[in-house]
């Protein structure tokens, strides 16, 4: 009875909100905007603001090309004075990249300028930055509403470029971070026959967009190809700023899409690395911003950011259940823009915690030996790959210590700095481990030196090549490097 009454009151409140508070504003060239359904939702958007005016938001467009590469000397493309387009270096024969920021930022934020540079190294493009700083400051809910105006402004710019130069919407690729991803969606939904070629959503904002109607958020109908990188999908009460739900044709969830390796530094460490402004932003929103870093690096990287179609469970990926080269796709710039399949395809990949973020994926399968001297242990394993042509860096198989129990098989998916082609094939590996001193409440080493017993390790690379590595049956003490060598048959018995 109480639940029924509560539901009835909620419906009544929603009806009153829609009938009493719903309003509409209209602007020349971009149309009308209201704050009623579907932009109002009693659970996911209980307060639905109207967007601010075009003048208050002050959207501007800043063009860079290889003729004008410096981001400090951009050329303005004004939708109010489109005849001035002819005074710029916009070239209708080039593809056009449109980049837009999110909440609290502007077009002069370092990542946008760096992305312009990366694009102009990669190819001869028109690169346009969208600046809507005035509309991105203040109350978050208002900024979320303002994305509708900014998206309409981007669409208007595309319309004017089409009418002045004869270019098609299919020559445009829009890249948006956070609220900017939904700006891209609003711009794309206004372009039809043809659609915008591609939209890349970089951790689309979750609050006020999660679980909303597709009209309200980025979705697959907004472009021929929508690819999305999710890096901060925890709910907002855990300070997650990104969307949890897939919203593209291909949705990539690096490192599980929640907590990114390397995002655990102190404020002072971030400021020391990135300066006061960028360092503070990294401290507050490192996971959220990491999607930008992945995409930016992918533009000119030789490393493919190869991801694998998988479930949403990151453990499934780490245990090798999704390691199938036939179901792989590149994350970032090299995502397959000609893909025309269904929506909501989830891909996973593990990355490094610092630049370069991209690594070549290897799956390690280890079985702890059931030896008469073996004990359960907790620690962290490090492996260096040895190839015929190259050797990798030493890499931890896990970001934290893990409990290892005798006779149990463990699998770890790990990114490395060498590809199967770099190594020329694996000939062996170096194994090392450190134990967790908190595993025992007394000092373990006072009693005895802890040992891990493991004599064979299977290594599978991203091309499906499997290498069996053999060590010996002796226990391996912490800090001691143990060599394992490849065999074409089976490891010898004890």
In order, the DSSP letters of 219-242 are -GGGSSEEEEE----S-GGGT--B
d(CA 29, CA 37): 23
**Are residues 290 and 324 in contact, defined by beta-carbon separation less than 8 angstroms?**
no
Residue whose entry in the numeric block shows the structure tokens 């400021």: 271
- For every residue of 375-432, DSSP letters joined together read --EEEEEEEEEEESS-BPPPEESSSS-EEE-TT-EEEEEEEESS-HHHHTSEEEEEEE
Q: Comparing C-alpha atoms, which of 291, 295, 290, 174 is closest to residue 225?
A: 174
What is the three-class DSSP state of 16?
Answer: helix
The beta strand positions in 171-294, using DSSP E, are: 172-177, 198-202, 225-229, 250-254
| Residues classed as catalytic | 178, 203, 288
Residue 280, phi then psi, degrees to nearest 5: -65, -40
Cα angle 350, 471, 388 (rounded to 5 degrees) comes to 65
Burial label for 308, CB within 10 Å (0-12, 13-18, 19+), is buried
Residue among 477, 491, 206 at smallest CA distance from 365: 491
219 is in an annotated binding site: yes
Q: With the CA atoms of 417, 421, 426 and 430 taken in that order, what torsion angle do they form, in degrees rounded to the nearest 10?
A: -10
Task: Evaluate whether 419 touches 359 at the Cβ level (below 8 Å).
Answer: no
Q: What is the CA radius of gyration of the chain?
A: 26
CA 165 vs. chain centroid, Å, equals 34
- Distances in whole angstroms, Cα of residue 299 to Cα of each of 81, 112, 172, 283: 33, 13, 16, 25
The CA distance from 280 to 120, in Å, is: 28
Q: State the binding site for Ca(2+).
A: 217, 219, 222
List binding-site positions: 217, 219, 222
């Amino acid at each position: 009875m109480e639940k029924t009454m509560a539901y009835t009151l909620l419906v009544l409140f929603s009806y009153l909100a829609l009938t009493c508070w719903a309003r509409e504003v209209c602007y020349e060239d971009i149309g009308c905007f209201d704050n009623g359904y579907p932009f109002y939702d009693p659970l996911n958007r209980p307060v639905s603001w109207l967007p601010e005016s075009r003048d208050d938001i002050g959207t501007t467009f800043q063009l860079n090309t290889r003729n004008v590469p410096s981001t400090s000397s951009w050329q303005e493309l004004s939708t109010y004075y489109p005849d001035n387009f002819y005074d710029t270096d916009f070239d209708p024969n080039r593809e056009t990249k449109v980049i837009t920021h999110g909440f609290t930022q502007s077009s002069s934020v370092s990542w946008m300028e760096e992305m312009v540079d990366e694009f102009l190294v990669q190819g001869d493009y028109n690169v346009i930055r969208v600046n809507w700083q005035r509309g991105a400051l203040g109350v978050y809910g208002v900024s979320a509403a303002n994305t509708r105006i900014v998206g309409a402004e981007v669409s208007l710019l595309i319309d004017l470029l089409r009418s002045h130069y004869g270019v098609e919407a299919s020559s445009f690729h829009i890249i948006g971070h956070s609220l900017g991803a939904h700006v891209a969606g609003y711009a794309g939904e206004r372009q039809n026959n043809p659609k915008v070629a591609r939209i890349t959503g970089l951790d689309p904002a979750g609050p006020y967009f999660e679980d909303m109607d597709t009209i309200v958020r980025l979705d697959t109908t907004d472009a021929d190809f929508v690819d999305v990188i999710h890096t901060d999908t925890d709910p907002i009460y855990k300070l997650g700023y990104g969307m949890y739900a897939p919203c593209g044709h291909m949705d990539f969830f690096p490192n599980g899409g929640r907590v990114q390796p390397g995002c655990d530094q102190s404020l002072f460490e971030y400021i020391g690395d990135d300066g006061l402004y960028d360092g503070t932003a990294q401290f507050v929103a490192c996971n959220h911003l990491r999607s930008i870093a992945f995409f930016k690096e992918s533009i000119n990287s030789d490393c493919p950011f190869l991801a694998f179609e998988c479930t949403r469970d990151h453990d499934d990926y780490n245990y090798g259940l999704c390691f199938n080269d036939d179901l792989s796709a590149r994350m970032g710039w090299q995502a397959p823009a000609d893909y025309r399949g269904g929506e909501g395809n989830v891909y996973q990949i593990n990355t490094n915690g610092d630049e370069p973020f991209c690594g070549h994926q290897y799956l390690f399968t280890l079985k702890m030996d059931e030896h008469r001297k073996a004990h359960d242990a907790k620690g962290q394993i490090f492996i260096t790959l040895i190839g015929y042509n190259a050797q990798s860096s030493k890499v931890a198989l896990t970001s934290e210590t893990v409990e290892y129990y005798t006779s149990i098989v463990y699998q770890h998916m790990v990114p490395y700095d060498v590809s199967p082609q770099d190594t020329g094939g694996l000939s062996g590996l170096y194994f090392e481990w450190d134990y967790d001193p908190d595993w025992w409440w007394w000092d373990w080493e006072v009693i005895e030196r802890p040992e891990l017993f493991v004599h064979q390790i299977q290594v599978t690379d991203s091309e499906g090549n499997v290498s069996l590595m053999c060590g010996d049956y002796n226990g391996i003490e912490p800090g001691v490097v143990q060599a394992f060598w490849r065999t074409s048959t089976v490891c010898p018995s004890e």
